[in-house]
A and B are shown apart, each in its own frame.
Chain A
Amino acid sequence: MKVRRDRFPTPGTAALSMLLACAGALCGCRSIGGLSGAAAGVASGSAIGPAAGVAIGIAVESGVDASVKAVRRRWSAEDQTRMAMMVGDMAIGESRPWQTRHFMTLGDEQGHVTLVRVFESSLAPCREAIFSVADPKATQAGTPEQHFVTTMCKSADGWRWAAAEPAVGRWGALQ
């Protein structure tokens, strides 16, 4: 990724770490918190001593990790709501293309979503949909698309993604 240095006329080490963090967040690289923490730790450690370096490194790592997660979560929430609203408009058996578009095409996805079941619970109307995710590489290789099942329910705000979290015993590596 090209970095436009002219926007940062005096890039100190901190700014550089931040740049690294942003670049990593964009690529969806999970180790970016650790990398930027390490960069900040090395930079400040050599300037103001090892203990401060460790402290700053750890703080930067945690801050970047939490921020990257938060951004990705917000993106997912928007994507989920967009698909839920689309499914809310559909008739059973109907299939429509879906796609997600993010800043700098990061984590963009597309496929088709089909409404397979409509059910009225005593609390809210809900729907079950099957969506496919088309991976350009897989399509080229002739691999069939993967399909996933999910549920949506209608709240006062409109249709929303309603798949609940897995049972704690199934969290495993998710946490």
Chain B
Amino acid sequence: MTRWLGGCLLMACGLTLGGCSSLISETASATAGIASGSLAGAVTNNAGVAAGIGIGVQAGIRSGVQFAQRKIHGEAQQQIADVAGPLEVGQVKNWNTVLSVPLEYSEAGKVTASRVISTGELDCKEIVVSVERRGGETLPVSEFYVASVCRSGSQWAWASAEPATPRWGAMQ
């Protein structure tokens, strides 16, 4: 059984190289759930109570980790938007993310404005972002992404909307 569990986790690790955020959240919440379930098992003979405590703690930790991930990724988006917002079309600047909690890799690259989407009251731009370094290491091939930023007051903010629900697929 233990060997099978190990295999299952290994499989998860091997497959999640590209996106480890769900693994962080799963691992943290599972570990906490298991620990508290076992702890509860030691103080109560009631299987239902032990299971309830284990699963409750697991759910709590999972939403806590997801909250932290949103906060950290929000910081990263804001740092890129701060650099990208004031750019003229064609102008290029370097960006890098400095995260308050190392829940994801810090990244660095360049950003340019490719189009002014609208001006005036609704001040929005289309930006092209390159990611050249991740976690202090230079990527063999730079990645490029297209996003939008809009100005609210004096501050620019990431403005790409979520994908249409039929396109959520593996994200949820």
Contacts and interface: CB of A to CB of B under 8 A. Distances in A.
B93 to A, nearest CB: 10
B169 interface: yes
B130 A156 contact: no
Contacts of B73: 165, 168
B134 interface: no
B37 A66 contact: no
Interface in A46-93: 49-67, 69-77
A13 to B, nearest CB: 9
Contacts of B130: 123-124
Residues of A in contact with B, size category: 35 or more
Interface residues of B, number: 69
A96 interface: no
A174 interface: yes
B29 A72 contact: no
A126 B170 contact: no
Contact of B163 (A124, A166, A169): A166
B146 A168 contact: no
A171 B141 CA distance: 28
A119 interface: yes
A32 to B, nearest CB: 13
Contacts of A133: 166
A73 B19 CA distance: 8
A59 B5 contact: yes
A66 B145 contact: no
Contacts of A61: 30
A50 B51 contact: yes
Contact of A66 (B16, B40, B47, B171): B16
Given A73-B170, A76-B169, A168-B70, A123 B27 contact: no
A148 B167 contact: yes
Given A51-B50, A70-B19, A167-B157, A122 B90 contact: yes
Interface of A: 14-15, 18, 30, 41, 44-45, 49-67, 69-77, 107, 119, 121-124, 126, 133, 146, 148, 151, 153-157, 160, 162-175
